[in-house]
Amino acid sequence: MWSVIQEKFRNHPAQEKVIRLLLERGFQINDEGRVVSGKIEIAHTQIANEIGVDRRVVDATCETILKDSKLMQIFRNVRTIPFLRDVASYLGLGVIIITPDDAARKGLLGAVATTVAEHGITIRQAVSDDPYLTENPKLTIITEGRMSGELVNTLTRIEGVKSVTVY
């Protein structure tokens, strides 16, 4: 997907910034070329202000998306998820953040999930940042309850794990 998007916006870095924000936030583009989250419309000026571009750049990006069937399919169907990381402590949940040495490494999520499960901890949510969209991607695991020091030590020994942060 990212290669299709990069090709389309290669010569338009400001529009690429808009695309990154839309994907990062899970915003869609409706048939009228408006940015939406579900049926809630988000003003193009607000998006422009967030990323430091002119509103017309957001307009042009949406027009480009509307004219391209592949892009339109992506931006009609992308969705956001409720990410529990920042509210986990209020819900009595634990947070493990894994910083990989190579975010494109295969099997890291599986190895981490297996290790957590072997320590008898239930995973409520696992969110892996897309290495094409995020400069320093991380794997965030939300767990039922707290982690032991033994689990943290075991996680740090998994091949591909650069660091482990626990909240």
Q: Per-residue confidence of the chain (167 residues) as pLDDT tens digits? A: 677 788 888 899 999 999 999 998 999 999 999 999 999 999 999 999 999 999 999 999 999 999 999 999 999 999 989 999 999 999 999 999 999 998 888 999 999 999 999 999 999 999 999 887 788 999 999 999 778 899 999 999 999 999 999 98
- Residue 3 is predicted with a pLDDT of 77
What are the start and end residues of each CATH 3.30.70.260 domain in the chain?
85-166
**Does domain 85-166 match CATH 3.30.70.260?**
yes
Closest CA relative to residue 127, chosen from 86, 163, 58, 81: 81
- Residue 115 is predicted with a pLDDT of 97
C-beta separation of 99 from 129 below 8 A:
no
Q: Which ranges in the chain belong to alpha helices (H)?
A: 2-9, 13-25, 44-51, 55-67, 69-77, 108-118, 149-156
- Residue 2 is predicted with a pLDDT of 75
How many of the other CB atoms lie within 10 Å of CB of 131? 15
Closest CA relative to residue 84, chosen from 152, 4, 167: 167
